[in-house]
Amino acid sequence: MAKNLYQNISQLWKTPDKIKDLKRERLIKWRKEPRFQKIEKPTRLNRARALGYKAKKGFVIIRGRIERGGRVRHLYGRRGRKPSKSGLTKFTPQKPLNIILQGRIQRKYLNLEVLGSYPVGEDGIYKWFEVIMVDPQRPEIKNDKNIKWITEKQHRRRVFRGLP
């Protein structure tokens, strides 16, 4: 049975040896970009399409980066003591990194709604995700029967309520 385009893209991302040099070049370039970068087309077309992306007006792809590793809990008035005894180190956040990044991007782009996100790369310091966002005011979105649900009032700011 012949594979289609999306199956081939998925297979490439599962075997990183084939696109190792391309990934390295991308990460070097992405480190120099700002924290949130609006891009023209998704890097992983198969994942974007699975999450509901369509190549039409009203859909926006934003690549964002977030620092890897555990979080630091900032508590004041604990100076002069060992951090390991005051609960400041090894603090694990309650949400995954991609959900945290979705919330940060939602706060920056207030007129858009988050549809979903997927990972596109990581190095020793950062993880990069691409977040699919939808502009609910666009007539193309309001007239599309598959995505017009996001224009309704109860779906506003869904990322802050823990919805994917």
Q: Is the pLDDT of residue 94 over 90?
A: no
- Range from 8-12, 43-47, 75-79, 151-155 carrying the lowest mean pLDDT: 75-79
User: Which residue, chain included where needed, has tokens 């939602």?
Assistant: 106
- Range from 48-57, 58-67, 111-120, 154-163 carrying the lowest mean pLDDT: 154-163
Q: Is the pLDDT of residue 130 over 80?
A: yes
Q: Is the pLDDT of residue 4 over 70?
A: yes
Q: Is the pLDDT of residue 85 over 70?
A: no
CA distance 42 to 61: 6
DSSP the chain: ----HHHHHHHHHH-TTTTHHHHHHHHHHHHHS-SEEEESS-SSHHHHHHTT--SSTTEEEEEEEEE-SPBPP--TT-TTS-GGGTT-SSBPPSS-HHHHHHHHHHHH-TT-EEEEEEEEEE-SSEEEEEEEEE-TTSHHHHT-TTTGGGGSGGGTTGGGGT--
Q: Is the pLDDT of residue 89 over 70?
A: no
Pairing of strands 59-67, 126-134: antiparallel
User: Average pLDDT, stretch 59-81?
Assistant: 81
- What are 6-32's pLDDT values in tens digits? 888 888 888 878 788 888 999 999 999
pLDDT at 77: 63
- Whole-structure pTM value: 0.85
- Ranges of each domain in the chain: 34-66+95-161
CATH architecture assigned to 34-66+95-161: 3-Layer(aba) Sandwich (3.40)
